[in-house]
């Protein structure tokens, strides 16, 4: 791509994946790009994602991939088509980090780390002239200028265009706390309320169960809610449930709790055995074994799984301990969930700037010259590479929109 000769200045607020990707595209085209980050370093949440191997994207069929974005699939399809998973992998390769497809179809850098990729990325950006202003906490606008709290005091920045890439409100200690919501609402921007996504949920455990099993996993397990199912691991916490199998259903669970006050998650504690096979094993003589020991020996159920079955009071009644009823319990163990865990503990957030508030270039209709990208837009997705993919893709689209708007202007 050729470099355009221009002296237009662009301020990018937020040094996460969306902000850095936009900075790369715009600086390559010759724009004078500055990135403002409220923390002492950029990419902190990106590095946190790297602790799990840095799942960049997913290799599944494009039609199935886009369905992961639920009600926002149609809005995001053209944007992700513009910068699809193959483009993200090629970009990663270009930074010296080859990618591979795992057994689940998820895509990772071969190093399984975020830090080498981030170091190479920052070096590229600095080589392209991008300037970084760290410890700059954005406060909004005053007389058309961006206002920051900075180490030397208040800073006022005049700019030709601004990109907001401030993230959602999960993991606020890493920089994204949702404080931008009220700033934009005062400017007339329509914003859907932020809510936890890919999150755990609170359950009313008995004191004994919570004290004994908090921190222990249930695996393998199939969780289901409505018509949705998810297989994986669930972690018992002192206050409820977390883990991949729960996160995948979190959107539906959260909406049901908002509507009904609770949601009943159904767990299959022996997904590798049919109900008939379980019943056949339980038809064997129990002898003098306690029920707990019998279930552990006959079905290889973990102690936490057996105790979870007995959390429901009626399941403790001897008349419900026939092989047929026990098999039903194991295959359909309900857990009543009362609330999502706090947004601060969520992997990501739902809600954000409504797409109707943006034009086709992702510029705010209420604020000419101000664009937005990444998780602060009103979309959500499960884990599995979908979060980073959409963050990158919306940044690419917004960056192109900024360039087009400035040239037209």
Q: Do 25 and 128 sit in the same domain of this protein?
A: yes
For residue 3, name the pLDDT band (cuts at 50, 70, 90): very low
Q: Do 151 and 66 sit in the same domain of this protein?
A: yes
pLDDT of 5 over the 80 cut:
no
Q: Which tens digit of pLDDT belongs to each residue from 373-404? A: 999 999 999 999 999 999 999 999 999 999 99
Domain end marker among 280, 309, 340: 340
Q: Taking Cα atoms as reference points, which of 251, 267, 237 lies closest to residue 387?
A: 251
- Number of neighbouring beta carbons within 10 Å of residue 150: 16
Residues 6+ apart with CB under 8 A from 225: 249, 252, 253, 256, 263, 264, 265, 266
Contact yes or no for 44/174 (Cβ under 8 A): yes
Distance of alpha carbon 363 from alpha carbon 77, whole angstroms: 18
How large is the average pLDDT for residues 195-220?
A: 94
Can you state the angle between helices 386-408 and 17-28, rounded to 10 degrees?
40
For residue 7, name the pLDDT band (cuts at 50, 70, 90): low
Q: Do 288 and 381 sit in the same domain of this protein?
A: no
- Residues of the chain above pLDDT 70, percent: 98
Q: Examine residue 3 and state whether it is found in any structural domain, yes or no.
A: no
Distance of alpha carbon 74 from alpha carbon 66, whole angstroms: 8
Distance of alpha carbon 30 from alpha carbon 107, whole angstroms: 32
Distance of alpha carbon 357 from alpha carbon 375, whole angstroms: 15
Q: Do 78 and 98 sit in the same domain of this protein?
A: yes
Kindly report the CATH number assigned to the domain that includes residue 351.
3.50.50.60
Give the pLDDT of residue 4. 42
Q: Examine residue 367 and state whether it is found in any structural domain, yes or no.
A: yes
Q: Which tens digit of pLDDT belongs to each residue from 36-51? A: 999 999 999 999 988 8
Q: Examine residue 1 and state whether it is found in any structural domain, yes or no.
A: no
Q: Do 48 and 135 sit in the same domain of this protein?
A: yes
pLDDT of 311 over the 90 cut:
yes
Distance of alpha carbon 349 from alpha carbon 379, whole angstroms: 8
What is the DSSP code string of 313-368?
GGGGSGGG-SHHHHHHHHH-EEEEEEEEPPGGGSSEEEEEE-GGGB-TTSBBTTST
Q: Do 283 and 359 sit in the same domain of this protein?
A: no
- Domain span at residue 352? 9-196+345-408
Residues 6+ apart with CB under 8 A from 280: none
Q: Do 376 and 237 sit in the same domain of this protein?
A: no
Give the pLDDT of residue 196. 96
Q: Is 256 helix (H, G, I), strand (E, B) or coil?
A: helix
How many domains is the chain built from? 2
- Number of neighbouring beta carbons within 10 Å of residue 137: 16
Domain end marker among 340, 375, 390: 340
Q: Examine residue 276 and state whether it is found in any structural domain, yes or no.
A: yes
Q: Is the peptide bond before 220 cis (omega within 30 degrees of 0)?
A: yes
Q: Which tens digit of pLDDT belongs to each residue from 350-378? A: 999 999 999 999 999 999 999 999 999 99
Distance of alpha carbon 34 from alpha carbon 66, whole angstroms: 32
Q: Do 366 and 270 sit in the same domain of this protein?
A: no
Q: Do 297 and 392 sit in the same domain of this protein?
A: no
Q: Taking Cα atoms as reference points, which of 38, 42, 300 lies closest to residue 149?
A: 38
Give the pLDDT of residue 164. 98
pLDDT of 61 over the 90 cut:
yes
Domain end marker among 340, 360, 381: 340
Q: Examine residue 2 and state whether it is found in any structural domain, yes or no.
A: no
Q: Do 163 and 109 sit in the same domain of this protein?
A: yes
Q: Examine residue 258 and state whether it is found in any structural domain, yes or no.
A: yes
Q: Do 45 and 160 sit in the same domain of this protein?
A: yes
Mean pLDDT of the chain: 94
For residue 1, name the pLDDT band (cuts at 50, 70, 90): very low
Q: Examine residue 114 and state whether it is found in any structural domain, yes or no.
A: yes
Give the pLDDT of residue 225. 97
Q: What are phi and psi of 352, to 5 degrees?
A: 130, -160
Q: Is 384 helix (H, G, I), strand (E, B) or coil?
A: coil
pLDDT of 222 over the 50 cut:
yes
Q: Which tens digit of pLDDT belongs to each residue from 124-160? A: 999 999 999 999 999 999 999 999 999 999 999 999 9
- Residues of the chain above pLDDT 90, percent: 90
Alpha-helix residue ranges (DSSP H) falling in 106-231: 115-127, 180-185, 207-213
Q: Do 47 and 115 sit in the same domain of this protein?
A: yes
Distance of alpha carbon 32 from alpha carbon 129, whole angstroms: 7
Total count of residues recorded for the chain:
409
Q: Examine residue 382 and state whether it is found in any structural domain, yes or no.
A: yes
């Amino acid at each position: 791509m050729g470099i355009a000769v221009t002296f237009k200045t662009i301020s990018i607020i937020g040094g996460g994946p969306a902000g850095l990707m936009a900075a790369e595209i715009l600086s390559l085209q010759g724009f004078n790009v500055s990135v403002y980050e409220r923390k002492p370093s950029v990419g902190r949440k990106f590095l946190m994602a790297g602790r799990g191997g840095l799942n960049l994207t997913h290799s599944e069929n494009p039609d199935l991939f886009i369905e992961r974005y639920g009600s926002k699939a149609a809005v995001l399809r053209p944007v992700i088509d513009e910068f699809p998973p193959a483009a993200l992998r090629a970009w990663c390769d270009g930074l010296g980090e080859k990618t591979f497809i795992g057994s689940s179809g998820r895509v990772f850098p071969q190093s399984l780390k975020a830090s080498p990729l981030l170091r190479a990325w920052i070096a590229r950006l600095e080589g392209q002239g991008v300037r970084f202003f760290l410890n700059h906490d954005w406060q909004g606008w005053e007389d058309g200028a961006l206002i920051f709290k900075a180490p030397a005091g208040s800073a006022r920045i005049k700019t030709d265009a601004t990109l907001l890439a401030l993230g959602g409100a999960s993991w606020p200690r890493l920089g994204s706390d949702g404080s931008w919501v009220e700033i934009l609402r005062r400017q007339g921007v329509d914003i859907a309320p932020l809510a936890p996504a890919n999150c755990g949920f609170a359950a009313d455990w008995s004191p004994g169960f919570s004290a004994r099993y908090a921190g222990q996993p249930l695996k393998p397990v199939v969780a289901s809610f409505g018509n949705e199912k998810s297989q994986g691991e669930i972690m018992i916490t002192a206050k409820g449930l977390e883990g991949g199998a729960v996160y995948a259903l979190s959107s539906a669970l959260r909406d049901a709790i908002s509507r009904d006050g609770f949601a009943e998650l159904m767990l299959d504690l022996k997904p590798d055995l049919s109900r008939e096979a379980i019943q056949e094993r339980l038809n064997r003589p129990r002898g003098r074994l306690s029920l707990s020991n019998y279930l552990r020996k006959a079905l290889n159920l973990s102690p936490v799984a057996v105790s979870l079955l007995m959390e429901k009071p009626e399941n403790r009644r001897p008349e419900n301990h026939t092989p047929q009823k026990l098999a039903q319990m194991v295959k359909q163990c309900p857990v009543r969930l009362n609330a999502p865990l706090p947004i601060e503990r969520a992997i990501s957030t739902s809600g954000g700037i409504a797409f109707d508030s943006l034009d086709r270039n992702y510029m705010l209709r209420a604020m000419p010259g101000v664009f937005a990208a990444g998780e602060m837009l009103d979309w959500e997705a499960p884990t599995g590479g979908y979060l980073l993919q959409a963050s990158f893709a919306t940044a690419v689209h917004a960056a192109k929109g900024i360039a087009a708007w400035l040239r037209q202007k």
